[in-house]
Amino acid sequence: MKTLLRKRTTTILAAGAIGLMALSGCSDMGSDSKSGDTETQSSDTAESGDAPEESGDAAMAGGDLVGPDCAAYAEANPDGGGSVEGMAQDPVATAASNNPMLKTLTKAVSGELNPDVDLVDTLNGGEFTVIAPTDDAFADVPKDDLDALAKDSDMLTKVLTYHVIPGQLSPDEIAGEHETVEGSKVTISGEGDDLKFDDAGLVCGGVATSNATVYMVDSVMMPSK
């Protein structure tokens, strides 16, 4: 905001020696006015809190996000649909499709791995907490096991829905046992960067989408039943 400072203009009419004294007085007043203006500006600056504000991903990364790789992710994806700010604009399945770390998960929930398993409308249509295995997490699954999982639509659906909890849970309320959409319970322990989802470690969590809260993890979890 621009601060408009109103300056007083004083006209002093005098003659002779009185005029000289008046000019000297005006010089002093001009100095005081400048000093006063500076003080007013400083006061206005302090009151308006003109300290630099974080914007976009930087502000969000310093807010509700938790996880050892959040800063690196925000730095690598400063803008666009896959950025922290960009993901907040879209429903979760759409947001995940824009995230460069969630390509395999996106294929799994969109019918690309198995045409009989398409959860996009379901995920985009409610409020959820999504535990999202990264591409590296899927890469750690032996290829034969992953191929077998992709061919078994019932098991693939069970595994994917085990990673989804109804309702949105923030980092300060995520710990505990929570019933998943699959039906069995996932155990989330620890806090902050040390959160564990069963045995999966946190990569970056608390990422908001328009209808969900996402926690990216380093392992694919398996339901107990």
pLDDT in tens, 133-189: 999 999 999 999 999 999 999 999 999 999 999 999 999 999 999 999 999 999 999
| Amino acid sitting at position 154 | D
What are residue 145's DSSP bridge partners? Answer: none
Would you call 66 exposed, middle or buried from its count of C-beta atoms within 10 A (0-12, 13-18, 19+)? Answer: buried
Global confidence as pTM: 0.73
The domain segmentation of the chain, as residue ranges, is: 15-51, 56-217
Q: In which order are the strands placed within the sheet that holds 128-133?
A: 164-166, 128-133, 212-217, 200-208, 196-197, 185-189, 176-179
Most confident of 27-31, 41-45, 136-140: 136-140
In angstroms, the CA 215 to CA 188 distance is 11
Chosen CATH of 56-217 out of 3.90.1170.30, 2.30.180.10, 3.30.360.30, 2.30.40.10: 2.30.180.10
